[in-house]
Amino acid sequence: MIVVTGAAGFIASCLVTRLNAANFNDIVVVDNFNEERKLANLKGKHLREYVDREGFFEWLDTNHEQVEFIFHLGARTDTTEQNRDILNVLNLEYSKKMWQACCQYQLPLVYASSAATYGSGTLGYSDDDALLPLLRPLNPYGDSKNDFDNWAVNQPEKPFFWAGLKFFNVYGPNEYHKGRMASVILHAFRQIQDTGSMTLFRSHNPEYADGEQKRDFVYVKDVVEVCYFLMHNRQHSGIYNLGTGEARTFLDLTLNTFAALDRTADIHFRDTPEDIRDTYQYFTQADMQKLRGIGYNRPFTRLEDGINDYVRNYLVTGNYY
């Protein structure tokens, strides 16, 4: 059996699809299944069992001998969450329990970290362990992810294989439920469909023109390919960046969304909301040497191609992956 936590969410539900495509059908999905808006992400998939996240460790005590691999992708992912108690429970303490269980039962583990750990990027975007204690995230969410990364690498006891993945700006199907936290592509699609135009955040940094803020946008189908690779290549434990290695502007993203819809671009700007303005990242770009160095050699999807696939084959049709 393969365990996937956060399974009704965006990235994890796409991973379940990728596993099913490779004929892995004994999948145990773990989540809080009370959020009905997310359940459509799992519809039609081949699953072994649903386990509520609150009862998972008790379930694992009973079933660990049948488990082959754990993908721990569940987390509180709202980057505007200011309640550190919630983040500590879901992102830090739960992950520590997962780590300890994987040590106890000798289970391999891949878990979700985040590029939010890099903060303003003043130290660059290298996934070298030596930089971990020096990173200063810009929000409590990033702190919770960085705190766990630092805790993990300093544990004297580790799973026989483990990998933490620092997801950069992931976009793609199955993020319909994410609201404000959905990718800019989904917001652009909805706004263009409703109004014929798109409004982006104005730059409040003199080094960047409006719309020229840059992020490393990575297609979710590439993200799950990396997860699949790590499940089959368990020689090199560690923390890895997961982006494309190429930063692109929000204008690039928006213009390609208009193009995928065969619409004429009409772009406007508004002030970045004050609650995120001081913690806004103007540039992110994953250093991908470490993952490439352990043998991952698949090319990453170009932004143009990823947006075209996402818009035409999922957003326009309402399909799930």
Q: What is the pLDDT along the chain (321 residues), one digit of tens a residue?
A: 999 999 999 999 999 999 999 999 999 999 999 988 899 999 999 999 999 999 999 999 999 999 999 999 987 766 665 777 777 778 789 999 999 999 999 999 999 999 999 998 999 999 999 999 999 998 888 999 999 999 999 999 999 999 999 999 999 999 999 888 899 999 999 999 999 999 999 999 999 999 999 999 999 999 999 999 999 999 999 999 999 999 999 999 999 999 999 999 999 999 998 888 888 889 999 999 999 999 999 999 999 999 999 999 999 999 999
38 is in an annotated binding site: yes
Domain containing 14 — which CATH number? 3.40.50.720
248 is in an annotated binding site: no
180 is in an annotated binding site: yes
pLDDT tens-digit map of 219-238: 999 999 999 999 999 999 99
Domain-located, residue 70: yes
Domain-located, residue 199: no
Q: How many domains does the chain have?
A: 1
Domain-located, residue 197: no
77 is in an annotated binding site: yes
Residues in a beta bridge with 241: 166
Domain-located, residue 256: no
Which residue range(s) make up the domain with 45? 2-172+218-245+285-300
263 is in an annotated binding site: no
Domain-located, residue 191: no
Domain-located, residue 258: no
Which residues are catalytically annotated? 141, 178
Domain-located, residue 269: no
Domain-located, residue 188: no
pLDDT tens-digit map of 33-66: 998 889 999 999 999 999 999 999 999 999 999 9
